[in-house]
Amino acid sequence: MKPSCMCRLSASLLLSVVLVSVCAPTVCAETYTNPVINHNAPDPTVIRAKDGTYWLYSTESIPNLPIYKSDNLVDWDFVGTAFTDETRPQMVPGGKIWAPDIQWVGKKYVLYYSKSQWGKEWECGIGVATADAPEGPFTDHGKLFLSNEIGVQNSIDPIYVEAEGKHWLFWCSFRGIYAIELSSDGLSVKSGAEPVMVAGTFTEATNIFRHRGYYYLVGSAGSCCEGEKSTYRVVVARSKKVIGPYVDKNGVPAIENGFSLLLEGDDTVKGPGHNANFVKDDAGQYWMLYHGYDASAPQEGRKVYLDRVEWDADGWPSVGEGKPSKSAEMPIIKGRGK
């Protein structure tokens, strides 16, 4: 994807009674266009490696969970899969690998994943794998739990969070959002830990992000997977404590399905949602990758879009005009001359 150029001129100056337009040299800001991955790669999760590269993993649109790499959050190259036919997780035989979450825990890349089949909400579950490098190879450690073992229906969509001196897993899809404490290596449920419900049945695809004293629970509501008819959208609530209580902008508890809108679709992009954890560029700007249907070609699946996250005066996140951008200024990455 070749970046284009957005040019800006200085404002006019008023000198005495005469209005004089003074034009400074143009400043050329590179731009990108959405989508940044122009094929089916739903439910992205992203991490920045120590060398500054970004790595993205998605629900398997090809077998064994695809991995992409980028130097700038815009241009993504397919580099392989997290598993092979031989190393593929065996939990939930016949199930697909959905909605991964990539994290750095201890000295390992830790990949949480869902294994599920449509409609089998008590047979699905969450597993975990590790690797020494973001491209793998990943070693599967098997299941953390299945729905029928943990007592939580539709146990998919994991997200790992280190907060308040503990290690947490948040998960579940439209059956409540739950949290449970994990062991210090993140590879098992802590002995004696029990699920805690932190949000109602309105959302799935949870992400937890801490910013200026608040934890933000970002999730997706609506129908994810119906092409141009999808109603998926990104919503948010926040709390001073990692397991709540979370509330929306009007103070309605998330446990009662109180969430505020962050991003929704338009005539160009349908059903945007299931965002990755927010990541930073080298200027400290936050970015959100998420999937959506290109309204002109919904049959091509859920593509990956990128937008910058800003923060309003009350500390709530916002994304542009609340719609996916068609074009925007590039992230600022060292070595790109910006």
One-letter amino acid of 260: S
Q: From the candidates 43, 101, 248, 294, which is the catalytic residue?
A: 43
Tell me the C-alpha distance between 331 and 17, whole Å.
Answer: 41
Tell me the C-alpha distance between 97 and 89, whole Å.
Answer: 8
Answer for the pair 263, 30: CB distance below 8 angstroms, yes or no. no
Answer for the pair 98, 43: CB distance below 8 angstroms, yes or no. yes
Residue 256's region, left for phi above 0, alpha for psi from -120 to 50, else beta, is alpha
Tell me the C-alpha distance between 172 and 179, whole Å.
Answer: 9
Say which DSSP state 161 is in. E
Q: From the candidates 30, 60, 140, 204, which is the catalytic residue?
A: 204
Q: Is 71 a catalytic residue?
A: no
Tell me the C-alpha distance between 170 and 161, whole Å.
Answer: 8
CA-based end-to-end distance of the chain: 18
Contacts of residue 308, Cβ cutoff 8 Å, sequence gap at least 6: 285, 286, 287, 288, 319, 320, 328, 329, 331
Q: Give CA torsion, residues 37, 39, 45, 48, to 10 deg.
A: -30
Q: Is 162 a catalytic residue?
A: no
Collapsing DSSP to helix, strand or coil, 298 comes out as helix
Residues carrying an active site annotation: 43, 204
